[in-house]
């Protein structure tokens, strides 16, 4: 289908200094956990974004000097000429598909502890390092020589960036990650020299570095300034009035303004805490202060929302990190009038967790993300079938749906049998919990795609027994039957069941999601530590329960630190009146109370409760696997060649892991056996001479 003319505006070229981007789709810098370690994997991933139609594709943060690095996070480095070839690999991959390459030069200052280089970090003032881990390190206040050094380092990095093939060179003053923001904000700048005090003084370094970068980049390249319009800490930090003045005073100096919120957690809020386009009130009016193009983000997946940003004069370029991760081909799909094919970001921040865990980026919606080079996966393409094999997929949750979809895309004849009256498995159930409706996009996208595949048959209300599976007689059986939450207290704290008196009403998340609800004073025992405990607390409060959330961790939903949500969740639960009991494990469930034990001393106390919800471990739904294994002798007569459990039915994990498992089955199906060989490519560091 030709594209809808309403979206023509998104495909207009935009001038960025001496350059022109072919359209308004701009992949802003984003971290990915690959960086300097997985160079070719990273370059390939960026190249696929360019292939998908993004007019500009940027790197993540690039450390410009060894006196400021952010170990353990794995970003890019441009410390000297040795780093140029690795950086050039990415710019070349971007250029190959006709996009402009942007590079985000970063000097993190008081945001990096320098654990790798052991250099003393520097910033505007003597202040503790502001990392996520409370490192016992302080930054020292920079003197005039340090400032001169920093300016030279940035200039040299800009020159190297151009040699590495980058078109747009960033001056980064955003997300509280960068020394230029630390100078700009009175929160972190208490200097009394010409770099502190008034706003004009605080912005001096930003102006100087921007001027230096303009000069270093020369006539052929462009300079972007990335700035945070609000630090979200009230009057003690940067707010719009000051930023208006900064932009007004430097309006025409850079070739592009890139507007963000600060910190990263605020800019990349999950869908649970912010809607698409939620940055709008913060950026409104700023574009009018400059004639230079302005880019901003807002988890934009809807072309109508994008057009609105342009028409309302809020932005010139539609910035995206997560929407480009979930669907690297988003621009192409809009251009080709294939809106129904867009794989919309669900705003879960599993992608962010890659960076936080120093693991290659992954995405709930796009299982190929991070696997483009090491496994050769592509977000839109997959190898055609190698045989006429037929596959039965049992279970239509995220694992089964993606498995059936990807096998179907390959051309295999697939039957998907789902026990319930609707598809989606846990995604369907969980997306009905408070404020996570966007998660249903994982299901909806796949149902939409399955609808196009005549070779995939979907059967609802079809709970399969082992006998029926054998009778069906598909050559290959995929068991994607999911998992169930445990009732016995076993998870991380207790590895053996705890004593439970059957007189106390006891529920699991499965019960609550199925509508079997507790009432009165409900104790939630959360030894899972991801989102479920917090979501159930919200749900039960909304239903009128008095909720006490007990966790052996020192904070609620502890793992959501990796999705940058933990503080938002804890604040929301406190606002809702949930009573939070940390550092305590439930050690016994009695008829009329819960016994809780201190996680450190083991000292116990009693908590009266009307019911308990156990958010602990899950058990894979293994019944079919077991029964089919027991009946192995019946396989050959029934024509069954292989049976394999995937996703939560193999080992419960995230929705992202389930989608990945489904994709992996389909990618590797029918492939020659690789024995003990590595199932992916990797890049081994070349050895330097001794
Ligand atoms: P995953 O995350 O691994 O995809 P889910 O729990 O989300 O797992 O989905 C599993 C799906 O499998 C559920 O929708 C469930 O109803 C379905 N299911 C479980 N057992 C059977 C069965 N015997 N036959 C058909 N479908 C099943
Ligand atoms: Fe969006 Fe989640 Fe994918 Fe990140 S992991 S891009 S938030 S769907």
CA-wise closest residue to 49 among 320, 346, 294, 402: 320
Q: In this predicted model, what pLDDT tens digit does every residue of 345-370 receive, in sequence order?
A: 999 999 999 999 999 999 999 999 99
Q: How far apart are the first and last CA of the chain?
A: 60
Q: In this predicted model, what pLDDT tens digit does every residue of 564-619 receive, in sequence order?
A: 999 999 999 999 999 999 999 999 999 999 999 999 999 999 999 999 999 999 99
Three-class SS of residue 588?
strand
602 C-alpha to ligand 1 centroid (Å):
39
CA-CA distance, 326 to 336, in Å (whole number)?
18
Contact 103, 164 (CB under 8 A): yes
Among protein residues, the one with the nearest Cα to ligand 1's atom 20 is 481
Report residues whose beta carbon is within 6 angstroms of any ligand 2 atom: 322, 325-326, 345-351, 363-365
DSSP type of residue 121: P
Q: Quote the percentage of the chain above a pLDDT of 70.
A: 100
Mean pLDDT calculated for residue range 495-499: 98
CA-wise closest residue to 390 among 669, 181, 628: 669
Residue whose token pair is 């294994």: 629
Residue 1's pLDDT is: 75
Lowest mean pLDDT among 125-139, 541-555, 590-604, 611-625: 125-139
475 C-alpha to ligand 2 centroid (Å):
34
Mean pLDDT of the chain: 97
CA-CA distance, 85 to 373, in Å (whole number)?
18
Mean pLDDT calculated for residue range 272-300: 95
Which ligand has an atom closest to residue 513 CA?
1
In this model, does residue 105 exceed pLDDT 90? yes
CA-CA distance, 427 to 329, in Å (whole number)?
24
Contact 621, 484 (CB under 8 A): yes
Residue 283's pLDDT is: 94
Ligand 1 pocket test: which of 394, 482, 659 has the largest number of ligand atoms within 8 Å of its C-beta? 482
CA-CA distance, 690 to 678, in Å (whole number)?
29
Show the tokens assigned to 354: 């890659």
Mean pLDDT calculated for residue range 641-646: 98
Please give the positions annotated as active site: 31, 172, 175, 267
Residue 213's pLDDT is: 98
| 478 ligand 1 Cβ < 6 A | no
Q: Model-level pTM?
A: 0.98
367 C-alpha to ligand 2 centroid (Å):
10
| 399 ligand 1 Cβ < 6 A | yes
Residue 686's pLDDT is: 85
Three-class SS of residue 586?
strand
596 C-alpha to ligand 1 centroid (Å):
34
Q: In this predicted model, what pLDDT tens digit does every residue of 524-543 receive, in sequence order?
A: 999 999 999 999 999 999 99
Mean pLDDT calculated for residue range 462-489: 97
φ, ψ of residue 95 to 5 degrees: the values are -65, -30
Which ligand has an atom closest to residue 274 CA?
2
* Ligand 1 atom closest to 649 (CA): 3
Among protein residues, the one with the nearest Cα to ligand 1's atom 9 is 397
Contact 416, 666 (CB under 8 A): no
In this model, does residue 132 exceed pLDDT 80? no
Q: In this predicted model, what pLDDT tens digit does every residue of 373-388 receive, in sequence order?
A: 999 999 999 999 999 9
CA-CA distance, 604 to 595, in Å (whole number)?
7
* Ligand 2 atom closest to 323 (CA): 6
In this model, does residue 184 exceed pLDDT 90? yes
Which ligand has an atom closest to residue 402 CA?
1
Ligand 1 pocket test: which of 419, 428, 508 has the largest number of ligand atoms within 8 Å of its C-beta? 419
| 620 ligand 1 Cβ < 6 A | no
Mean pLDDT calculated for residue range 227-245: 94
- Residue predicted with more confidence, 131 or 6: 6
Residue 63's pLDDT is: 98
Residue 36's pLDDT is: 96
Q: In this predicted model, what pLDDT tens digit does every residue of 1-45 receive, in sequence order?
A: 788 999 999 999 999 999 999 999 999 999 999 999 999 999 999
Residue 133's pLDDT is: 81
Ligand 2 pocket test: which of 271, 328, 345, 530 has the largest number of ligand atoms within 8 Å of its C-beta? 345
Q: Quote the percentage of the chain above a pLDDT of 90.
A: 98
Residue 571's pLDDT is: 98
In this model, does residue 131 exceed pLDDT 90? no
Three-class SS of residue 687?
coil
Among protein residues, the one with the nearest Cα to ligand 2's atom 3 is 363
pLDDT band at 685 (very low <50, low <70, confident <90, very high): confident
361 C-alpha to ligand 1 centroid (Å):
27
Residue whose token pair is 């001027």: 211
In this model, does residue 67 exceed pLDDT 80? yes
* Ligand 2 atom closest to 322 (CA): 6
pLDDT band at 450 (very low <50, low <70, confident <90, very high): very high
Show the tokens assigned to 355: 């960076």
Mean pLDDT calculated for residue range 412-441: 98
| 420 ligand 1 Cβ < 6 A | yes
């Amino acid at each position: 289908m030709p594209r809808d003319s309403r979206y023509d505006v998104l495909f207009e070229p935009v001038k960025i200094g001496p350059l022109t981007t072919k359209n308004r789709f701009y992949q802003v810098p984003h971290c990915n956990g690959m960086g300097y370690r997985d160079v070719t994997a990273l370059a390939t991933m960026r190249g696929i974004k360019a292939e998908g139609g993004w007019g500009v594709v940027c790197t993540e943060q690039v450390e410009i000097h060894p006196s400021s690095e952010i170990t353990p996070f794995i970003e890019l480095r441009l410390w000297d000429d040795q780093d140029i070839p690795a950086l050039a690999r990415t710019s070349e991959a971007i250029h190959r598909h006709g996009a402009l390459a942007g590079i985000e030069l970063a000097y993190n200052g008081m945001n990096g502890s320098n654990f790798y280089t052991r250099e003393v970090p520097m910033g505007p003032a003597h202040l503790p390092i502001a990392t996520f881990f409370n490192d016992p390190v302080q930054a020292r206040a920079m003197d005039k020589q340090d400032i001169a050094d920093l300016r030279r380092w940035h200039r040299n990095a800009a020159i190297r960036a151009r040699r590495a093939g980058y078109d747009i060179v960033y001056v980064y003053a955003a997300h509280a990650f960068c020394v230029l923001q630390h100078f700009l904000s009175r929160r972190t700048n208490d200097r009394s020299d010409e770099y502190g005090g008034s706003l004009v003084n605080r912005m001096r370094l930003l102006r100087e570095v921007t001027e230096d970068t303009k000069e270093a980049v020369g006539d052929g390249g462009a300079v972007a300034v990335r700035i945070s319009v609000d630090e979200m800490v009230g009057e003690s930090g940067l707010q719009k009035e000051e930023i208006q003045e900064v932009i007004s005073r430097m309006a025409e100096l850079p070739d592009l303004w890139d507007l963000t919120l600060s910190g990263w957690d605020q800019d990349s809020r999950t869908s649970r805490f912010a809607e698409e386009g939620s940055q709008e009130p913060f950026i409104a009016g700023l574009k009018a202060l400059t004639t230079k193009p302005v880019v901003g983000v807002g988890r934009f997946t809807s072309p109508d929302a994008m057009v609105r940003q342009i028409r309302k004069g809020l932005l010139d370029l539609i910035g995206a990190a997560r929407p480009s991760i979930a669907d690297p081909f988003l621009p192409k799909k809009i251009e080709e009038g294939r809106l129904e094919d867009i794989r919309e970001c669900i705003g879960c921040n599993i992608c962010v967790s890659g960076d936080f865990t120093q693991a290659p980026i992954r995405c709930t919606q796009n299982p190929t993300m991070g696997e483009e080079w090491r496994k050769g996966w592509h977000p839109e393409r997959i190898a055609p079938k190698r045989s006429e094999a037929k596959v039965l997929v049992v279970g239509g949750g995220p694992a089964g749906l993606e498995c059936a979809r990807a096998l179907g895309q390959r051309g295999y004849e697939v039957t998907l049998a789902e026990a319930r009256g609707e598809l989606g498995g846990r995604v369907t159930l969980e997306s009905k919990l408070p404020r996570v409706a966007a998660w249903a996009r994982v299901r909806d996208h796949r149902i939409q795609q399955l609808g196009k595949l005549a070779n995939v048959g979907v059967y609802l209300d079809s709970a399969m027994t082992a006998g029926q599976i054998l009778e069906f007689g598909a050559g290959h059986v995929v068991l994607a039957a999911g998992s169930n939450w445990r009732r016995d207290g076993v998870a991380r704290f207790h590895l053996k069941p705890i004593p439970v008196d059957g007189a106390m009403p006891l529920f699991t998340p499965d019960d609550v999601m199925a509508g079997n609800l507790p009432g009165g004073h409900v104790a939630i025992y959360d030894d899972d530590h991801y989102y479920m405990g917090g979501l159930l607390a919200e749900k039960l409060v909304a239903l009128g329960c008095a909720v006490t959330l007990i966790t052996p961790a020192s904070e609620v939903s502890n793992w959501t630190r990796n999705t940058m949500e933990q503080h938002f969740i804890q604040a929301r639960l406190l606002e809702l009146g949930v009573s939070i009991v940390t550092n305590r494990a439930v050690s016994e469930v009695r008829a009329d109370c819960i016994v809780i034990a201190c996680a450190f001393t083991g000292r116990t106390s009693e908590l009266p409760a009307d019911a308990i919800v156990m958010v602990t471990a899950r058990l894979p739904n293994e019944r079919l696997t077991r029964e089919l294994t027991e009946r192995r002798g019946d396989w050959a007569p029934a024509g069954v060649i292989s049976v394999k459990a995937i996703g939560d039915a193999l080992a419960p994990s995230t929705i992202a892991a389930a989608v990945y498992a489904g994709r992996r089955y389909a990618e590797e199906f029918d492939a020659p056996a690789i024995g003990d060989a590595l199932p992916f490519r990797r890049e081994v560091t070349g050895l330097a001479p001794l």
